[in-house]
Chain A
């Protein structure tokens, strides 16, 4: 298709206020939890409190008998559906996997049973009464555990989920590295990240008769979810309709349904009632899939001028128990040096299974490459003794280096990281900063400047089969209003505005006259939606081309009606104009009414109506480039990092809406700041989550995120409209920019290990010359020493005392279950009665403790102090009846827990 016709572009490039903001900012969005269907039931999960083990038994009787409970489902109930859990690539997942745990549990939070009740309160009440008996096994939590420990999945050969690259060192490459004037090595570690969308996961599923399943779900793309569910459920005759109007962020977590959503959908099919499951924040932070948790050792060799000779990466990625696609993250290696000129690169990359939540995408899933490379370059600059700007200038791929192909086969034709860096340096005066830095240091203040550059693949379609093109379906209604149904879908991206901008320009209508509908798989065309910074490029291209087709039709109709040539017709201000004959102009509404309602007035043979659609497939790869600079001050008394300034210089081609572009960059940078300084979804040695609320999972707040400055280049891409994607960039380039600034600030004290997050406590070790905190040795390593546990108390010698009849019935061992807020806790209690005095011992997984109490009638009371999770006094009160016992335990601030039990 040729260049845009007569209608001048007016909206593309403008800071058009977002059409969706009024609704979203005044609380009038429509999210999954806003969906209420008649007869709807509510789901709550029973989740595994242990990371690895087998399920001996599940007792649902008590839970099932609770008021308002409709069902308590286990995998035995769901198995008949024969669901196949699929990866992101729509193939069956690599390991045996069921919607609810099937005999084994593989992470803390693994869904074991599902309670369906009249409301969520009742469902949770009943869920706490499901008693699951587990045989616990030592958990495989960290990457080291995975390398050394037992298999996470009994049906695999080892814990390697995916392997790519050369396992045996490439001798030629090793020789290049060994023989180089400078060899720089950087080992980095990225912590586990919880994507933390503002709207947690959730689904409302309902069968509409026999042949339609309606699924309201918060997701990245309704069409992709419909495709996934159709394949996973595989029920001939059942059509799946997926609806997601507003979505409060995904960041990769919501690419497709997972165990919980599938279980809730099956429950709705089983009970033939609508079922709602809304993930609460604890579930989201502890049991939803997560991301990152990576280690990389990157080596790079430089010549005497600081030019790259060769590089090698050894990379490991924690896949958790059930990744949404077993992954060794090949994109990391494809793009690691793609912005630079390097003659040779090789790698080995392994994904590892562990007893943790599965790996999901997170904004820029391959971002570790930019973190490793850009921090290595700064280290190299310090080691070789050249300036960080200079080392990048010498190695970045410039216009003169293109077209060219990287060692991994990535073709480069129009990348601009070097221009972005130069534009950045026009705004950031590095020599002036160095002077300020020196003066500050003299006063004991530590300023640092960090730089980074990168390129990012965006707007992909066709390179992996799931990521298809996108469709725009357009009509001018008889009212004259323009309606577009898009297969791209916003999770907060502003596509209802940016797509309208693309369309309004083509049809010459005010932006207010364009309405975008999306988020319903039953409307419009097929397309996977968000992911890989693709919607602006592909959706924008589809919108422009559909708009152009429709404009052509309007012109053809108008030319026929007005006896003019189509070339003389132009569209603007919602009107059709004839060149040289202003009196002949017509409103779009007049043209549309005729086009739909008076077929006889149309050119012979022309289809009625004003409708058009276009399915756009962009060029295979569209690169966005950027360079960022950040200035920090590190407080040497506290180790706190203050961000003074942050400048982004990016080239995302033609900008549809600079405000939306800057919003995307800022959001990504906020997440980068979180990754570098604050967030950590760590698990302890047993695989328990240590950050279960936003008190402990510290997201950056408005106080932690500075106002960013933006510099834009606009090298048009080869895609329609000249657009390049911008969704993930901030989250990719942000981390090394900030890490480099911190390292520069603390250079007088020594090197700062890239071991995220860089907490004040860690940075303080550098300032004070203390060793960096070591990570605990894997429990499966020979050097591992088990933590000291209180030795179980010796069993009291049997006392042959004559006790009252009831007491005889109490002496000995009892199996008890304490229904704590964190789930039922099994224990064994030993009692010894002497008169009205009772001595005993309570054994639980955490250890054992002795107590002394009193007996009155059939009631035993005792108190015991515990120090974990905090210092509280537990007050037990148990009533014995034959071979069973029941009662309660008061737990201070934690309320009262029920106790049930029987003779051991």
Chain B
């Protein structure tokens, strides 16, 4: 299929893009890597009047230390983030998750911000942002604001980003260099969206869990924080954890549904298994170290 007619404008700055958004009054779409938007245009599932290209804007690129953590520019290409040494060192679980986003070809163009702004419930990047406690900087002609990843996702493809707002950057708080990474994903084929997946990190000090951040993807209408599991883990000695009980708590927070690829029952059952196995292996590895 071919897209419906639209105007294309290559924004020259964030301000320019915001002005264009304001002017379009909801009739515009931002174009970042285009890996989701282009198919939607071709399917005529998205019919904006104006396409505002922001993928090339230097202000939206780059990964740098910021407030103790890391700031990722929204239009940073996924392929660039995948080989970024700062990320590899500070947030290894982010890199693991990113390696599961699509394929080499889609990561070459797809952006971190595009994936986060899209809000696909089975996507890796939104859940990673929730799990790690990221916050998003949004800009519009009305000004700038910051929103926590926890508050960003409202439903499938529905976010708190207003139609006139642009996602500028994502801030990831610092996690200890030796935080235990958690990542498991089950997908029909490598590179597919997850049937069920979990991502997170555990900060450990003196053999006890100090801080836990864990989120599901593909397990409900949005990325879902495994809040009860996190709370139960914090303060526990890592050699005493009942992984099955924690997995049950994690499942209790999920809200999976049936679709053509798997049933909700499958997602719940397999989610419990990969959560328990993932947690056990991560802790065993730490205990052995």
Q: How far is the CA of A761 from the CA of B4 in the complex (A)?
A: 38
A691 touching B189 by the CB < 8 A rule? no
B260 touching A821 by the CB < 8 A rule? no
The residue of chain B having its C-beta at the shortest distance from the C-beta of A684 within the complex is B260
- A895 sits at the interface (CB 8 A): yes
The distance from the CB of B45 to the nearest CB of chain A, in whole angstroms, is 5
B26 touching A121 by the CB < 8 A rule? no
Work out how many contacts link A and B, with CB atoms closer than 8 A: 106
Point out the residues of chain B lying under 8 angstroms from A703, CB to CB. 189-191
Our pick among B44, B192, B266 for the contact of A821 (Cβ within 8 Å) is: B44
The residue of chain A having its C-beta at the shortest distance from the C-beta of B195 within the complex is A760
Interface SS majority for chain A: loop
A125 touching B45 by the CB < 8 A rule? no
- A846 sits at the interface (CB 8 A): no
Contact residues of B between 263 and 286, Cβ < 8 Å to A: 263, 265-266, 269-270, 273-274, 277
**How would residues 851 to 878 of chain A score, 1 for a CB under 8 Å from any chain B CB and 0 otherwise?**
0000000000000000000111000000
B47 touching A637 by the CB < 8 A rule? no
**How would residues 873 to 901 of chain A score, 1 for a CB under 8 Å from any chain B CB and 0 otherwise?**
00000000000000000101111110000
Knowing A282-B43, A638-B274, A871-B155, the reply to whether A895 touches B48 (Cβ < 8 A) is yes
B45 touching A895 by the CB < 8 A rule? yes
Q: How far is the CA of A701 from the CA of B192 in the complex (A)?
A: 11
- A678 sits at the interface (CB 8 A): yes
Contact residues of B between 1 and 59, Cβ < 8 Å to A: 1-5, 26-27, 29, 39-40, 43-49
Point out the residues of chain A lying under 8 angstroms from B186, CB to CB. 638, 640, 760
The residue of chain A having its C-beta at the shortest distance from the C-beta of B37 within the complex is A893
Point out the residues of chain A lying under 8 angstroms from B47, CB to CB. 821, 894-897
- B158 sits at the interface (CB 8 A): yes
Point out the residues of chain B lying under 8 angstroms from A639, CB to CB. 266, 270
Point out the residues of chain B lying under 8 angstroms from A770, CB to CB. 265
Q: Name the residue among B29, B44, B273, B274 with the largest chain A CB count within 10 angstroms.
A: B44
Knowing A678-B188, A895-B45, the reply to whether A121 touches B3 (Cβ < 8 A) is yes
The distance from the CB of B25 to the nearest CB of chain A, in whole angstroms, is 10
B270 touching A890 by the CB < 8 A rule? no
Point out the residues of chain A lying under 8 angstroms from B273, CB to CB. 637-638
The distance from the CB of B69 to the nearest CB of chain A, in whole angstroms, is 30
Q: How far is the CA of A121 from the CA of B5 in the complex (A)?
A: 8
Q: How far is the CA of A640 from the CA of B273 in the complex (A)?
A: 13
A890 touching B260 by the CB < 8 A rule? no
B274 touching A637 by the CB < 8 A rule? yes
The residue of chain A having its C-beta at the shortest distance from the C-beta of B42 within the complex is A280
Point out the residues of chain A lying under 8 angstroms from B192, CB to CB. 695, 698
The residue of chain B having its C-beta at the shortest distance from the C-beta of A895 within the complex is B47
Point out the residues of chain B lying under 8 angstroms from A280, CB to CB. 1
A821 touching B43 by the CB < 8 A rule? yes
Q: How far is the CA of A681 from the CA of B191 in the complex (A)?
A: 21
**How would residues 744 to 764 of chain A score, 1 for a CB under 8 Å from any chain B CB and 0 otherwise?**
000000000000000111001
A896 touching B190 by the CB < 8 A rule? no
Q: How far is the CA of A700 from the CA of B192 in the complex (A)?
A: 12
Q: How far is the CA of A637 from the CA of B262 in the complex (A)?
A: 14
Q: How far is the CA of A220 from the CA of B208 in the complex (A)?
A: 67
A759 touching B269 by the CB < 8 A rule? no
B266 touching A893 by the CB < 8 A rule? no
The residue of chain B having its C-beta at the shortest distance from the C-beta of A697 within the complex is B260
**How would residues 176 to 198 of chain B score, 1 for a CB under 8 Å from any chain A CB and 0 otherwise?**
00000000001011111101000
Point out the residues of chain A lying under 8 angstroms from B265, CB to CB. 770
Point out the residues of chain B lying under 8 angstroms from A696, CB to CB. 260-261
The distance from the CB of A385 to the nearest CB of chain B, in whole angstroms, is 33
Point out the residues of chain A lying under 8 angstroms from B43, CB to CB. 282, 693, 821
Q: How far is the CA of A773 from the CA of B260 in the complex (A)?
A: 13
Point out the residues of chain B lying under 8 angstroms from A700, CB to CB. 189
Contact count band on B: 35 or more
Q: How far is the CA of A773 from the CA of B265 in the complex (A)?
A: 11
The distance from the CB of A69 to the nearest CB of chain B, in whole angstroms, is 14
Q: How far is the CA of A82 from the CA of B109 in the complex (A)?
A: 51
- A680 sits at the interface (CB 8 A): yes
The distance from the CB of A436 to the nearest CB of chain B, in whole angstroms, is 23
The distance from the CB of A30 to the nearest CB of chain B, in whole angstroms, is 23
Q: How far is the CA of A890 from the CA of B190 in the complex (A)?
A: 35
Q: How far is the CA of A872 from the CA of B263 in the complex (A)?
A: 23
Our pick among A124, A698, A895 for the contact of B46 (Cβ within 8 Å) is: A895
Contact count band on A: 35 or more
Point out the residues of chain A lying under 8 angstroms from B27, CB to CB. 896
The residue of chain A having its C-beta at the shortest distance from the C-beta of B272 within the complex is A637
Q: How far is the CA of A639 from the CA of B265 in the complex (A)?
A: 13
The residue of chain B having its C-beta at the shortest distance from the C-beta of A280 within the complex is B1
Q: How far is the CA of A891 from the CA of B150 in the complex (A)?
A: 25
Q: How far is the CA of A542 from the CA of B195 in the complex (A)?
A: 52
A871 touching B2 by the CB < 8 A rule? no
The residue of chain B having its C-beta at the shortest distance from the C-beta of A635 within the complex is B186
Q: Name the residue among A637, A639, A892, A893 with the largest chain B CB count within 10 angstroms.
A: A893
Q: How far is the CA of A586 from the CA of B269 in the complex (A)?
A: 78
A678 touching B189 by the CB < 8 A rule? yes
Our pick among A120, A125, A637, A871 for the contact of B4 (Cβ within 8 Å) is: A125
- B218 sits at the interface (CB 8 A): no
Our pick among B2, B260, B270 for the contact of A680 (Cβ within 8 Å) is: B260
The distance from the CB of A609 to the nearest CB of chain B, in whole angstroms, is 51
- A670 sits at the interface (CB 8 A): no
Knowing A121-B2, A821-B43, A892-B157, the reply to whether A637 touches B270 (Cβ < 8 A) is yes
B262 touching A893 by the CB < 8 A rule? no
**How would residues 51 to 66 of chain A score, 1 for a CB under 8 Å from any chain B CB and 0 otherwise?**
0000000000000000
**How would residues 638 to 660 of chain A score, 1 for a CB under 8 Å from any chain B CB and 0 otherwise?**
11100000000000000000000
Knowing A124-B1, A124-B2, A761-B263, the reply to whether A701 touches B45 (Cβ < 8 A) is no
- B235 sits at the interface (CB 8 A): no
Q: How far is the CA of A770 from the CA of B266 in the complex (A)?
A: 11
The distance from the CB of B8 to the nearest CB of chain A, in whole angstroms, is 14
Q: How far is the CA of A700 from the CA of B193 in the complex (A)?
A: 15
Point out the residues of chain A lying under 8 angstroms from B73, CB to CB. none
Our pick among B4, B195, B270 for the contact of A895 (Cβ within 8 Å) is: B4
The distance from the CB of A155 to the nearest CB of chain B, in whole angstroms, is 34
The distance from the CB of A276 to the nearest CB of chain B, in whole angstroms, is 13
- B221 sits at the interface (CB 8 A): yes
A893 touching B46 by the CB < 8 A rule? yes
Contact residues of A between 681 and 703, Cβ < 8 Å to B: 682, 690-691, 693, 695-696, 698, 700-701, 703
Our pick among A120, A637, A894 for the contact of B45 (Cβ within 8 Å) is: A894
Knowing A121-B5, A125-B5, A893-B40, the reply to whether A682 touches B270 (Cβ < 8 A) is no
- B156 sits at the interface (CB 8 A): yes
Knowing A638-B273, A696-B260, A890-B26, the reply to whether A761 touches B189 (Cβ < 8 A) is no
**How would residues 684 to 728 of chain A score, 1 for a CB under 8 Å from any chain B CB and 0 otherwise?**
000000110101101011011000000000000000000000000
Q: Name the residue among B47, B193, B263 with the largest chain A CB count within 10 angstroms.
A: B47
Q: How far is the CA of A872 from the CA of B156 in the complex (A)?
A: 9
A893 touching B1 by the CB < 8 A rule? no
- A77 sits at the interface (CB 8 A): no
A698 touching B155 by the CB < 8 A rule? no
The residue of chain A having its C-beta at the shortest distance from the C-beta of B156 within the complex is A870
Q: List 13 A-B contacts (CB under 8 A).
A: A121-B5, A124-B4, A125-B5, A638-B186, A682-B260, A695-B192, A698-B261, A759-B262, A760-B188, A773-B263, A821-B47, A870-B155, A893-B45
Residue numbers of A with Cβ under 8 A of B are: 120-121, 124-125, 128, 280, 282, 637-640, 678, 680, 682, 690-691, 693, 695-696, 698, 700-701, 703-704, 759-761, 764, 768, 770, 773, 821, 870-872, 890, 892-897
- Closest 10 A/B residue pairs (Cβ): A895-B47, A821-B44, A871-B155, A761-B266, A761-B262, A121-B2, A637-B273, A703-B190, A870-B156, A895-B46
Known: A637-B270, A693-B43, A761-B266. 19 other contacts (CB 8 A): A124-B2, A124-B44, A125-B5, A280-B1, A638-B186, A638-B273, A639-B270, A640-B186, A701-B189, A701-B191, A703-B189, A759-B262, A760-B195, A764-B270, A870-B158, A871-B154, A871-B221, A892-B158, A896-B27
